[in-house]
A and B are shown apart, each in its own frame.
Chain A
Amino acid sequence: MLDTIDTRMISFNEPLPEGIVKMLDERAPWDADLLQETRGITHFRDNEYSQPSKHTYIPDKPIFFYDWLGVAAMRLPESRIVAIATTLLYSAKLSIDPQWTFAFDPNPIVKVISKEKSSQVSISPGLIMPRTQVRASSLLAPSGAYLTWVEMLAEDLDDRSK
């Protein structure tokens, strides 16, 4: 159903799958007008390198997403559903509380994934987390090329300060 995803081409203009609409509608309270409005979200991007999730807007209500969504959109075949569903969830939260500060609640997303899932892999809810947190768990070492760059840069700055 959603096997070819290009994050730069995510459009929120298409109708949501019936299962998603039903599940989201069950999650009260929903503002029907906002829901309708959100379905017409237009996706903007500053340049081709940006994560689309950072640049999604509904009229007069900027919504900033976690990087996590960008990765989800790239990695998971059901990402489009995740992105749409999360857009709806976040917009609804924002409409209820304009001061809402984006506390991350993975459970609705997990439910969306498992509800619509017809593919082969599911994930323990405890492993759903913002992208930055996933990456932070990795003991990623800077490459020798990067370290060399930084060391040369430090020497360069030292030379200039003399």
Chain B
Amino acid sequence: MTEVNNDSYYMDPASYLQQGDIFRIDLVAPVADEVQRIFRAKDGRHGSVVFEQNCEARVFSRNDLDNLLAAISQTPLHTKPFHKTPDGYDEMVVVFARLFRYFIIATQTCDISGKNKGRSEWATILPVIPLVDLCKTEPMPFASTYETLTIHEFVTKYCEKGGELQNSSAMDYVPRLRQLVNDSIKSKQNEKVRKDTQFLKNYLSNYYAKIFMFSLPANVKYNLPESYVDFTSAFTVHTSKLLAIQDLRFARIAVPYSFDFAQKFGHFFTRVALPKQMRPT
């Protein structure tokens, strides 16, 4: 296997949308929910009215909203729950969400570029998460600690000179983190902590080898710190929305690495996992 050259890993985006285009934009990514917390004006009109008129709002349960709508004389903005308004708004609801700073197009170029054939109306996008964000925000089940810690918290707490991470820039953070972890393994420390530190070292070296993630190397030219694409969080968006913000693309994974990205994303969804006993002995 040849060594990846980071300078050839990315290229400038083309004039049209392509698979592997990376956007830099804060993206609110909602999480599906089984409870209906419906955001409406207090009088039952669609939630968008609240932002337009700054009127009083209410988070309705489905029953409360149904009862209110049945009891009052309705305007066109008193839409039935989860029906579109006359001007095309979906229902507004209160759900959990994540915030991603980058995303990448996963849909194949031929379906969204508009070249050679019509453009697909919908596209699939995936979050691109800088490793520094993972280290600072995602709690991990360290075996030696009796509390769930982020990688940043663990290193700050247990690794020698871990506090130095506080002043690291986004681009410098991961190289410094790896250095600190490597140095810490060599130093004397609690046996359990040492095992965790060794595990962390392996994780930082091999996290992208698993099927859930696709690694993106850091690149100074495009100001992208070491990151990964998270295959477990796929979102569908309207292609016209992507076209409207296409100027926010700052890079694209270059060939042949974009093929590798496409192949791994496809493998994540198309693989067939068989139980062990089904394999020939």
Given known A124-B64, A139-B32, A152-B203, contact A147–B58 (CB-CB < 8 A): no
Residues of A close to B203: CB separation below 8 A:
148-149, 152
Residues of B close to A127: CB separation below 8 A:
35, 37, 59, 61
A153 at the interface (CB under 8 A from B): yes
- Minimal Cβ-Cβ distance residue in B for A49: B147
CA distance A121 to B96 in the complex (A): 18
Given known A124-B59, A145-B207, contact A137–B35 (CB-CB < 8 A): yes
B169 at the interface (CB under 8 A from A): no
Q: Of B33, B56, B129, B199, which contacts A156 at CB under 8 A? A: B199
Per the CB 8 Å criterion, the residue count for chain B at the interface is 39
- What 0/1 readout, one digit per residue, does chain B (60-88) give for beta carbons within 8 Å of chain A? 11011000000000000000000000000
A144 at the interface (CB under 8 A from B): yes
Once the chains bind, are B213 and A145 in contact (CB under 8 Å)?
A: yes
Main secondary structure on chain A at its contact with chain B?
A: helix
A121, A123, A145: most-surrounded residue (chain B CB, <10 A): A145
Residues of A close to B55: CB separation below 8 A:
120
B47 to chain A, nearest CB (A): 11
Stretch from B133-141, B239-247, B248-256 forming part of the interface with A: B133-141
Once the chains bind, are A145 and B59 in contact (CB under 8 Å)?
A: no
Per the CB 8 Å criterion, the residue count for chain A at the interface is 27
A29 at the interface (CB under 8 A from B): no
Residues of B close to A150: CB separation below 8 A:
141
CA distance A15 to B238 in the complex (A): 53
Contacts of B216-262 to chain A: CB distance below 8 A: 228, 230-233
Residues of A close to B60: CB separation below 8 A:
124
CA distance A138 to B203 in the complex (A): 28
B95 at the interface (CB under 8 A from A): yes
Once the chains bind, are A149 and B58 in contact (CB under 8 Å)?
A: no
- Minimal Cβ-Cβ distance residue in A for B139: A146
Residues of A close to B230: CB separation below 8 A:
143-145
A99 at the interface (CB under 8 A from B): no
CA distance A121 to B60 in the complex (A): 10
Once the chains bind, are A139 and B31 in contact (CB under 8 Å)?
A: yes
Once the chains bind, are B32 and A126 in contact (CB under 8 Å)?
A: no
- What 0/1 readout, one digit per residue, does chain A (102-137) give for beta carbons within 8 Å of chain B? 000000000000000000111110110000001101
Would you mind naming 29 contact pairs between A and B with Cβ atoms under 8 Å apart?
Answer: A121-B56, A121-B59, A122-B42, A122-B57, A123-B59, A124-B64, A127-B35, A127-B37, A137-B33, A138-B95, A139-B32, A139-B34, A140-B96, A141-B232, A141-B233, A143-B134, A143-B138, A144-B212, A144-B228, A145-B207, A145-B212, A145-B213, A145-B230, A148-B207, A148-B213, A149-B207, A151-B210, A152-B206, A153-B199
Q: Which 9 A-B pairs have the closest CB atoms?
A: A144-B212, A124-B61, A137-B35, A126-B61, A148-B210, A139-B32, A144-B230, A124-B64, A144-B213
Extra pairs beyond A121-B57, A122-B56, A145-B138 (20, CB < 8 Å)? A120-B56, A122-B42, A122-B57, A124-B61, A124-B63, A124-B64, A140-B31, A141-B233, A143-B232, A143-B233, A144-B230, A144-B233, A147-B210, A148-B210, A148-B213, A149-B207, A152-B202, A152-B203, A152-B207, A153-B141
A interface with B by C-beta (< 8 Å): 120-124, 126-127, 134-135, 137-153, 156
